[in-house]
Chains A and B, each alone.
Chain A
């Protein structure tokens, strides 16, 4: 953590994808700073690079140019092994389609990131129960994803994201596959995690209603960030 309270510092980031002979420049010299404890929403049209930016901040992908610093550590030049280890300790990820493993029950899904820690089975179990109770699913421990509603599956996904107590919570369209009521519940939960647990959250969304929950919203268009939506 830097003394100025900045958790994420993205500097001059470019991201270029190659599709055959074509080169698609998704991000263009992009800068963004996210203070610790912020709830930031990223909005923009499809293909504007929201998820790409989220992936770069979470160390799931590497920029073509520029630097990404998280909690004072430059992560874009870490080796794959170090980056994986860093993600395990510092990043919680929530996906649009939950991405739970269908062969594992809720508790086992939440336990996945803890398998990478040195915690004993008993301690892992306790932390899984805590995480699931935080998302209101302590009664669904043994249920498999197919036995849960979409909203419940997403809450399991959030429990999996927070079970290691990460520095940063990154959510890619977390309500994109949910009805309004379930979506509201998930957003309420994220807001609680932000306000009560102090989690720094970055959420990618198309939904202004979801973005309204955030403390700040940035708009991506043509690979550049704006404070206001581009008409």
Chain B
């Protein structure tokens, strides 16, 4: 602790250089925080996917439909506790960039299947009583300023109505919250019976099924049994755990984790060069001062520690401020896309990794200048 003043004093020597270096480190760690939040936004569906839930889709592609009659046949299979269907609606609210998922579902079994969606009992009752009723997640409701009782017009891109129009209208009867932090609160769900009666084509077909198994340990066998049940039919199925399904969906964009890791690696490599260069410069400028420290009795190792401590303090100031700023911006300002991400937060494990990275950056940036300082020969250095 008694050396802290000595270490921090050296950082004040070239205030502008120290400030610019710390600022570049700060920006890197703000970026780290935001990219962590983006990664979570893409992968959170996988993390919160129910271990007892399967997704059953058409074997060829998710855009191929399955018969609505498959639900009853699945219910009869051993190990199946509940099967509910959903269909991709793909509508536009006001403009295409206002993206969020919309799906027709059967309200009661759907809410039974997804207990993580917390809906007020009165709102649930209203949904059951309103044929054009819809519920929406809190994130999307806040994104568009919707409140219960609003009439929500959505322009279909896939599903024309029987009257030839594409304008669907829904009555917002409920806003659901999440049982846990990562719950997707961007979804918009409306009633299957309204959808079924109004759509111009595709009657009797659904997009995919969610199946809850009685015993998660038997999920693989149940998936096999479902696929076997519909083998050699016009609509063969592919059943997989919900997590794998969501991951596959996310992978359509690309391997998000790998892309983000590549970006961060490039950023941190650049920052490492900047911080390393700053430390190398600061040691070069202070050769005789470091020699004086050794002359008055500081050991080689103590001088190494001082320079390394200075490097860690520099990255610590920039890095920790950056992480703190990222935390504040993400928590207070939230999703920069205005709600396109289902979840957006800075996960604690990533924050811990960030703090670890701050230390690693400090050590790696400072190690070469520190060793150079450690190896200084006093008499030689004093002559310079």
Contact = CB atoms under 8 A, between A and B. Distances in A.
A87 interface: yes
A93 B349 CA distance: 51
B6 interface: yes
A61 interface: yes
17 contacts: A60-B378, A61-B377, A84-B297, A84-B300, A85-B299, A88-B298, A89-B297, A93-B295, A93-B296, A95-B292, A95-B382, A101-B289, A103-B9, A103-B12, A108-B6, A112-B6, A115-B6
A61 B382 CA distance: 11
A81 B301 contact: yes
B9 A115 contact: no
Contact of B379 (A61, A99, A108, A116): A61
Given A52-B379, A84-B297, 19 more contacts: A58-B295, A84-B299, A84-B300, A87-B296, A88-B298, A89-B297, A93-B296, A95-B292, A102-B13, A103-B12, A104-B6, A108-B5, A108-B9, A112-B296, A113-B297, A115-B6, A116-B296, A116-B298, A116-B302
Contacts of A85: 297, 299
A55 interface: yes
Interface in B258-300: 288-289, 292-300
- Among all A-B residue pairs, the 5 with the closest Cβ atoms: A88-B297, A61-B379, A103-B9, A84-B299, A113-B296
Interface in B290-346: 292-302
B297 A81 contact: no
Most buried by B among A58, A93, A108, A160: A93
Contact of A87 (B5, B12, B295, B382): B295
Nearest to B303: A84
A99 B299 contact: no
B298 A99 contact: no
B289 A99 contact: yes
A61 B293 CA distance: 15
Contacts of B296: 87-88, 93, 112-113, 116, 160
Interface in A108-155: 108, 112-113, 115-116, 121
A114 to B, nearest CB: 9
A80 interface: yes
Interface residues of B, number: 25
Nearest to B380: A61
Interface of A: 52, 55, 58, 60-61, 80-81, 84-85, 87-89, 93, 95, 99, 101-104, 108, 112-113, 115-116, 121, 160
Nearest to A55: B379
Nearest to B5: A108
B160 interface: no
B201 interface: no
Given A102-B13, A115-B6, A61 B297 contact: no
A84 B300 CA distance: 8
A87 B288 contact: no
Contacts of A101: 9, 289, 292
Interface string B365-382: 000000000000111001
Contacts of A95: 292, 382
A14 to B, nearest CB: 15
B144 interface: no
A53 B298 CA distance: 21
Interface string B207-249: 0000000000000000000000000000000000000000000
B295 A115 contact: no
A121 B296 CA distance: 18
Contacts of A103: 9-10, 12-13
Contact of A81 (B2, B10, B299, B379): B299
Given A85-B297, A88-B297, A160-B296, A99 B9 contact: no
B378 A81 contact: no
A160 B13 CA distance: 21
A104 B7 CA distance: 11
A58 B382 CA distance: 13
Contact of A112 (B12, B293, B300): B293
Contacts of B356: none
Contacts of A113: 296-297
B288 A99 contact: yes
A60 B297 contact: no
A44 B293 CA distance: 28
B54 to A, nearest CB: 66
B114 interface: no
Contacts of B9: 101, 103-104, 108
Contacts of B10: 103
A85 B302 CA distance: 11
A50 B9 CA distance: 34
B96 to A, nearest CB: 58
A63 B298 CA distance: 21
Nearest to B10: A103
Nearest to B377: A61
Nearest to A124: B2
